[in-house]
Amino acid sequence: MAKTQLNVRVDETTAETARQRALQRGLSMNRYIEELVREDAGEAGRTFVEAAADFMKQYESVFTEEFGEERTRR
C-alpha cells in the first residue's frame, strides 16, 4: 500500500507522550500513529473478525468432528 505523508502540529506535551508511548510499545512514531487511527476507525476489529472467520472455515471439519454438526452450526 502506498504511503502518504501527513504533517500535524501538536503541543510539546502531546508530542512527548506520543514518543514515550511508541517507545514503550517498541514502535516507530509513524507506526504508533497509524495504529491509533486504525483502532479509532475500527479496522483492527474488522481484521480480527475476518481472521477468526477464515480460521473457522479452515478448521470447520475439525470442530464438527470434535463437537458434532449441531454444535458447530450455532
Q: What is the pLDDT of residues 13-34, one digit of tens each?
A: 999 999 999 999 999 999 999 9
Q: For position 70, what pLDDT does the model report?
A: 64
Q: What is the pLDDT of residues 39-64, one digit of tens each?
A: 888 876 777 788 888 888 898 888 88
Continuous H helices in the chain:
12-25, 29-41, 43-58, 60-67, 69-72
Going from the C-alpha of 55 to that of each of 3, 48, 50, 74, the distances in angstroms are 30, 10, 9, 16
Please work out, in degrees rounded to the nearest 5, the angle formed at the alpha carbon of residue 25 by the alpha carbons of 35 and 11.
70
**Taking the complete model, does pTM exceed 0.85, yes or no?**
no
The answer, yes or no, to whether residue 73 has pLDDT greater than 60, is no
